[in-house]
Amino acid sequence: VVGSSNGDIGYGGALGTNLGFNITGDSNKSFPTISNFGPAGNGGRWADPALIGSHVTVLQTQKNTDDLKQFRAVATWKEDNLTLKAGGQYVDDKFYQQNASTFTNNYWQAYAGYGSPSGRNTGIAPLPSNLYQGAISLNNFIPGFQGSLPPSVLIYSPQAYQNYLTGLGNPQAQNVPGFNYGGGVNGFTGAFDQAIDPNSVRTIQEKTWSLFFSAQIEAQVANMPLHIAVGLRNENTHLTSAGQGRQPISIAQSAADPTLLSILFPVDTQQVIGKNNYSYMLPTLDLRLEVTDKLQLRFDASRTLTRPGLTLLSPVLSIGNGQRVGALSGSGGNPQLKPYLADNYDLAAEWYYQRNSYLSVDFFLKNVSNFIVNGVTRQTVNGVVDPTTGQPAIFSISQSINGPDATVRGVEI
């Protein structure tokens, strides 16, 4: 199959074949050799336009907006060698996302099936020769490769391919040979219009109040200037994550492409809301001792946090409409994610041995907790049955979770 971002062409079915891969040498030194490629194993007709038909047409559009409102107030008091600051901050971060695609309305399968050379009555074959813009030879494509490769791959414009299919007319008003009438492509009138995927619509709002206090002190230790900075900050975050969700109700196997499974959903969606609140105290201490005009010692200790990206916080489980046999999958966000927390310690010496030059040695220790990692679990969803096995369908669900802690230590010179 020759593929692109929004249009696939190829041959399959009766003319299809199973590629063979063999490793004849040491597996850590040899590429697999390829055999039995081309229609019915005929490598000479691998890129024969007379046998190639239309397949799926995928279009996708994503729209995101991120609105940020922020307010901060600080009061400062100074006297001799002491400076005090106190204040507060409010941050309102609102993220909106939606996706539209031809997956949602199933228009991507309007001309799937590869056409009559594959023994099917769906798909247009052969495609017009003017859609092709030549070929790329695979001769010596992998220098030193001893096995055989297909002779070439065809070059074509997916936009021209899609425009050709659109130009065939409205299959609802006339009979268009090759249109996938039995494939659930309802309402298709010729144009590959996109529909909004309700599962992709989400609004995530993060409101954070913080109060902080800091002090800067100038002191002396054995006639050496000591600069002290100390602070305390309290972060209080309220998260509301809302989305539109649809649970699958059944799975159907495509007649045009036996490897394709279509996930069927109810017409209506339901709003799904997740909430999370957390509060952390974040202290900080910075000491800088001027041993001489050219030598300084530093000690720093702090706790910091890094919030998870808003795109990870959706409450909705997303399962695509088009899936493959034996590879059912889905993904979802996790509004219960906590932020990374890091306790940081640094001990450093800095020697400014000449103008614009210095040498520093920094010993550091960082303890990080609430690591956010990707996890995959195998689970059933809403009890739907896999038509290829007759058993409950097993989906591999990808989701972010808070994982283990970690410690980083070392020296920086």
48-57, 89-98, 275-284: least confident range: 48-57
How sure is the predictor about 64, in pLDDT bands with cuts at 50, 70 and 90? Answer: very high
Higher-confidence residue of 239 and 28: namely 239
Tokens of 125: 């074959």
Q: Rounded to whole angstroms, how far apart are CA atoms 286 and 216?
A: 9
Token duo for residue 205: 């709002």
Per-residue confidence band for 5, with pLDDT thresholds at 50, 70 and 90? very low
As a whole number, the mean pLDDT across the chain is 89
User: In the structure encoding, which two tokens stand for residue 370, read together?
Assistant: 């609430």
Identify the three-state secondary structure at position 200: helix
Residue 37: what pLDDT?
A: 83
Q: What gap in Å lies between CA 269 and CA 249, rounded to an integer?
A: 12
Q: For the residues 88-115, what does the mean pLDDT come to?
A: 94
Angle at 149 between CA 145 and CA 153, to 5 degrees: 130
Over 70: is that where the pLDDT of 109 sits?
A: yes
Q: Is the pLDDT of residue 382 over 90?
A: no
Q: What is the CATH architecture of 60-101+197-413? A: Beta Barrel (2.40)
Asked whether the bond before 308 is cis by omega within 30 degrees of 0, the reply is: no
Residue 292's CB is within 10 A of a number of other CB atoms, namely: 9
Cβ 94 vs Cβ 227: under 8 Å? no
Residue 199 near residue 314, CB atoms below 8 Å: no
| Count of CB atoms situated within 10 Å of the CB of 322 | 19
| pLDDT at residue 33 is higher than 90 | no
Residue 298's nearest CA partner among 227, 394, 358, 212 is 227
Q: Please tell me the predicted confidence (pLDDT) of residue 358.
A: 96
Reported as half-sphere exposure (CB side, CA atoms, 13 A), residue 221 has a value of 12
When pLDDT is averaged across residues 199-211 and rounded to a whole number, the result is: 92
CB-CB neighbours of 263 under 10 Å: 22
Summarize pLDDT for 217-255 with one digit per residue, the tens. 999 999 999 999 999 999 999 999 999 887 889 999 988
How big, in percent rounded to 5, are the helix, strand and coil portions of the chain? 10, 50, 40
Over 60: is that where the pLDDT of 13 sits? no
Instruction: Say what the pTM is.
Output: 0.66
- Cβ distance 76 to 83 under 8 Å? yes
402 contacts 372 by C-beta, under 8 angstroms: yes
Band (pLDDT 50/70/90 cuts) for residue 6 is low
Q: What is the pLDDT of residues 357-375, one digit of tens each?
A: 999 999 999 999 998 988 8
**DSSP per residue over 351-374, as a string?**
EEEETTEEEEEEEEEEEEES-EEE
Enumerate the β-bridge partners of residue 85: 76, 214
Q: Which range, of 23-27, 64-68, 171-175, 397-401, averages the lowest pLDDT?
A: 23-27
CB atoms within 10 A of CB 404: 9
Q: How far is CA 270 from the centre of its chain?
A: 24
pLDDT given at position 215: 97
Would you kindly state where each structural domain of the chain is located, as residue ranges? 1-59+108-192, 60-101+197-413
The encoded tokens of residue 379 equal: 């689970």
User: What pLDDT, on the 0 to 100 scale, is given for residue 25?
Assistant: 66
Side chain identity at residue 376, one-letter code: V
**High-pLDDT (> 90) share of the chain, %:** 62
pLDDT at 4: 41
- Retrieve residue 357's tokens: 């030059």
Task: Give the confidence band of 14 by pLDDT, cuts at 50, 70, 90.
Answer: very low
d(CA 174, CA 187): 13
